[in-house]
Every structure is written in C-alpha cells, then in structure tokens.
Amino acid sequence: MSPVNEPEVPPDAGAVENATLPVHANTTISSIIDLAEPEATFNITGRIVDATTGNALEGAFISVGGKSANSDINGEFAITDVPVGGLSVEFSASPLRGGDTPLNVSFYDLSSASSQELFVTLDGYIDLAYEIECSEGSTVNVHPVLMPAGEDYEFTAVLTWGGENPDDLDSWLLTPEIEGLTYKVYYGNKGSLTEVPYAQLDVDDTSSFGPETMTISQSYPGTYRYTIHWFSGSGTWTTAGATVTVYQRSDWTGGDMVCAGTYYAPQSYLGDESYWEVLEYDGTSKVVTPINRITSVRPTVSSSANAMAISDAVNTVKADSVGDAGTTECAIEGITIDGIQTDSSAITSWEWDFGDNTPVSYEQNPVHTYSEVGGIYDVTLSISDGESVSALTQFAYIAVTASPPVITSVTPPSSGGENTGDGCNRNRWQLF
C-alpha cells in the first residue's frame, strides 16, 4: 500500500493561541483560528470640555475597557474595538419618602445588560468616571465635562447631553425659603453666587451638548430640588444621553470638591413627560437624595411670591416651546413597562430586597407597601442574565417619615462581595 502523503504542518501548529480543539495534520491553521469566537466590541468617540468655560481640553487621558486615548487640540478622541461590558444595575422609585402609612412605593428597573465604565483624567481637574451603555458593533458618542480642581463651592451639578437633539435642555434649581422668599434659578433668572439666592446657572446652552453648570455657594436649611426641563428639540429621553455629574466638598468644613455622583436620565415613553427630576439636596445635612424620575408635572417653587417665580411666569428671555407648555416635542418610541422603557432584554431575573424584612420580590417593576412609621430603609436590586449576577444597594433610600433622612455613615453589606463603586458612582456591589 502506498503511503498517504500528509500535508506539512509547522512545528508550532499545536500551540496556536486560543485553539479549543486538538490540531490534526489535515487541519489548516486558518480553520483553527476561525473556530475562536470573536470578542464583541464597540467604538467610542467624544469631546472633552471644561465644565466652567465649555472650552475644549487637550491632553486628557481617556480609558475604557482596557483601551485608551488622549484628547487632541480640539478636545476630541476616538477609541475603537472596546470590549462590550457586562451587567449594570440601576433603579429608581417614587415616592422616596412619606409621612403616613401605609406608604406604597413604585420601583422601576433601569438596568442595562451591557455597559462599560469610562475614566477621564487631566492635570488640574477632578477625575471623572461614569458608565456608558454599549452594544456590539455600535459607536457611542460621549461628551465628558471636567471640573477644575480647587473650586470651593458646596454643591455643583453639571448637565451634558449626547447628541444634537434635543437642542435645548434647561437646568432648574428650586430653593427652600431664603430670607423669607423662595427662588427658581434657571435661564430666566440665573441667580448669584455672592448674594441671595447664593446659587447660579452659568450659561443657557440652546445648541445641544451643554455643559450647563448649576452651583450653590452657600446653602440654607431646607430642600433644594434640581430638575432638567426638555425645552425643545426632537429625539427621546432614551436617545438624548442626558447626564448630570455632581461635585461636593469632601469635608463640609472646607475640604476639596470631589466627584460625588453621576446620574443618567431614565427612559420613558409618554410624549408629555418634559421634566427629569434628578435629585434633592438638603441644605442642612448636605445629603443628596436621588430622585431620577421623568414626569409631566411641572415643578414649581412654593407659594411665597418672589421675583424669581414672577419671572418664570412671564418668561421674557426666550419664547415658550411646546415642551414648556407641558407637551414635549420629542416622539417617544419603544416598548414600555409601567411608564419606563428599559434596555434589559438580556436580563432574565430580578430580585428586590426592600429592607423591611418582608419577602423579596421577583418582579421587574414591583410596587411595595411600607407599613412601619419612622422607618428608613436600604433597597437592593440584584439582576442576572443567566450567567452572572450584579447588585446595587441604595442606602437610606426610602424614608417613612415627614423629614428627609440624614445619612451619617454607609455600612457595607454583611454578605460577601466587592465594592466596585468610585467617587463618581453610587456604591455598586458585584456579588461573587
């Protein structure tokens, strides 16, 4: 019998990286490489600017998913082939507190099946980190805004959004009573940092992206309410990419300002939901309480008559848009669940712990009843895609009391886990 002519095989063919099958003489190297499943990736582009001036920042270092780049003279950067990330947990609830029992609270899952964390650093500026949603083959455009180091204010919130539409989002700050009057700081009356109301909006951006920076230099007892108004433009809250980054003093007696949190606009389907209620700020305790709710109800100052409220009613600065009258021009699309549109199609299970020793809920968007007067509760949401589990705990999140809770410390959960949070995100616990 004549010998079979075997094809030549390179000596190191059996050591091909990532090969999952044994190498045979009649298997070519190219076919072995094709057996490896390609990694899902996406691309990211963006522009880095100064939060106080809006000017482009050159030389910022941007890293995401093990990839990195530096911003050019125009503040622009591009990073390709970034690995698609994993589960990201986020949720909101309404109401967050109440003085009467039973208190019925609606919880909304805002989690994402795939996200990555973006880090931006530059000498002379506060480090920035926030999550971005991503999907295989997509290109994500972001507009990170850096706060100069050395600023000395009690509270600063920086609004940006990700596209040309909407063209105009507005920052509003409603104050508690200050020397007998309440105030609305917004484009119609930008306030002052050196006199009442000791709060100021820097600019009114009407041509997309932002930033708009709202600052409190001196707070007064009571609750400040920070809201974003969709003034005009097409698109949706889902596609707007609206982000608010909050900076506070690390020590209320005069420490340096640090990045204290990043908030992302929830997704919604109702065409008249023109307002994103972002957070409340307690002027005494300096505690930020996330609200993170889209609503059609126009926030107003208290009934106390004052120049700010009158200016809001007259609105002589720019003409009312359809959105300002209570119906946004955006056409909201997509499948909805209890008023919230989510991108969690790959998430297979949810588990809610409401913090009051009641049974957990496995619904995606549950309604829970709190019955104990004076209770303050941590809430935890755990999600899974069938392969991994991730969880987020929001501490002192629900308060069944007429007064807002004062958070003096944060205690990690007693079960095993790793705190993967950072200065720009609420603590995120990745379970083992």
Q: What is the pLDDT along the chain (432 residues), one digit of tens a residue?
A: 555 554 554 544 444 444 444 444 444 444 444 444 567 899 999 899 998 888 999 999 999 999 999 999 999 999 999 998 888 888 877 777 666 778 888 888 878 888 888 899 999 998 988 778 777 888 888 888 898 987 788 999 999 887 667 888 999 999 999 999 999 999 999 999 999 999 999 888 777 778 899 999 999 999 999 999 988 887 777 777 788 989 888 765 556 788 888 888 876 544 556 888 899 999 998 888 888 788 888 887 653 334 344 334 333 344 433 333 332 222 222 222 233 334 456 889 999 999 999 999 999 989 999 988 778 899 999 999 888 898 999 888 888 865 444 443 333 333 333 333 344 443 332 232
In whole angstroms, what is the distance from residue 163 CA to residue 167 CA? Answer: 8
Cα 362 to Cα 3, 195, 378, 382: the distances in Å are 66, 51, 17, 10
Find out whether 210 and 147 touch, Cβ atoms under 8 Å. no
Q: Which residues pair with 61 in a beta bridge?
A: 70, 121
Distance of CA 202 to the CA centre of its chain: 22
* CB neighbour list of residue 220: distance below 8 Å, 6 or more residues apart: 175, 176, 177, 178, 198, 283
DSSP structure class, residue 124: T
Find out whether 233 and 330 touch, Cβ atoms under 8 Å. yes
In whole angstroms, what is the distance from residue 287 CA to residue 248 CA? Answer: 10
Find out whether 279 and 292 touch, Cβ atoms under 8 Å. yes
Find out whether 266 and 290 touch, Cβ atoms under 8 Å. no
AA letter at 311: S
Structure tokens at 244: 């608010």
Q: What is the pTM of this model?
A: 0.62
Structure tokens at 87: 């589960």
CA nearest neighbour of 331 among 262, 247, 233, 203: 233
pLDDT of 409 reads 36
CA nearest neighbour of 130 among 119, 121, 140: 119
AA letter at 319: A
